[in-house]
């Protein structure tokens, strides 16, 4: 799996760093043609790498304890994004290394993204336009100012955003400005776009991200 380490920097370069938990995190957005989305966060191989046994146990429990009752940071983040309905948590493995899957539904992906960037302190405009059978999600980032330092569950979730994927539930992707679209059902951020975005951040400029699909 490709670890896209640049994403947290792009979406919040001044976010506070988390502790010493190690994990593999995959964000999968199951996108419906009408713009509704089910956001799933899969956190696997989770463990503390603290050398001190007492601190290690405490850090492990600080993760799995809240997850067992659905109040862990990821669940709080999805709720903060304005989830429509309950945020669901499934603890696949409650022994270290832990494995937890958290998901939530949103009626409109652009609203979830707007709240995401607002909570992260990133200036961005998000639109979803539909013309006939074709829809397009557009995100325009404005890096003319540095992202505001933020703390909380959403910035913490972005720190773990190693892998971001879109999966279309019906229809097919037809274009991806900044995305790799390998089989018309899946899309992920391209290496080229990430490299370009880093340069734009350094130059204090603007850059767009666009994903289009047909029902």
Is position 15 within any domain? no
Total of domains in the chain? 1
Is position 10 within any domain? no
pLDDT of residue 9: 52
Show the DSSP H helices in 45-152 as ranges: 53-68, 73-80, 109-120
pLDDT of residue 164: 87
Q: Could you tell me how far CA 185 lies from the centroid of its own chain? A: 19
Is position 110 within any domain? yes
Contact 22, 47 (CB under 8 A): yes
pLDDT of residue 120: 85
For residue 80, give its domain range. Answer: 23-214
Residues in the chain with pLDDT values less than 50: 1-6, 12-18
Question: Taking the model in full, what pTM does it have?
Answer: 0.88
pLDDT of residue 149: 72
pLDDT digits (tens, 9 = 90+) for 48-75: 999 999 999 999 999 999 999 999 999 9
Is position 34 within any domain? yes
CA distances from 45 to 23, 88, 90, 118 (A): 5, 20, 15, 30
Is position 12 within any domain? no
């Amino acid at each position: 799996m490709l670890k896209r380490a640049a994403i947290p920097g792009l979406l919040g370069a001044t976010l506070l760093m988390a502790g010493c938990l190690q994990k593999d995190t995959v964000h999968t957005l199951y996108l419906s043609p009408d713009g509704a989305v089910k956001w799933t966060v899969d956190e696997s191989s989770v463990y503390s790498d603290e050398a001190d046994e007492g601190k290690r146990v405490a850090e492990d429990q600080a993760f799995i304890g809240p997850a067992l009752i659905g109040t862990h940071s990821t669940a709080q983040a999805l709720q903060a994004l304005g989830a429509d309905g309950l945020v669901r948590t499934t603890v696949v493995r409650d022994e270290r290394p832990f494995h937890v899957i958290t998901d939530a539904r949103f009626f409109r992906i652009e609203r979830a993204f707007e709240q995401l960037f607002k909570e992260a302190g990133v200036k961005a405009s998000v639109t979803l336009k539909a013309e006939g059978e074709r829809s397009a999600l557009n995100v325009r980032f404005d890096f003319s100012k540095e992202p505001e330092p933020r703390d909380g569950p959403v910035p913490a979730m972005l720190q773990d955003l190693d892998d971001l994927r879109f999966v279309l539930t019906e229809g097919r992707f037809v274009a991806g400005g900044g995305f790799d679209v390998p089989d018309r059902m899946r899309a992920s951020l391209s290496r080229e776009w990430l490299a370009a975005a880093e340069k734009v951040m350094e130059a204090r400029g603007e850059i767009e991200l666009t994903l289009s699909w047909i029902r």
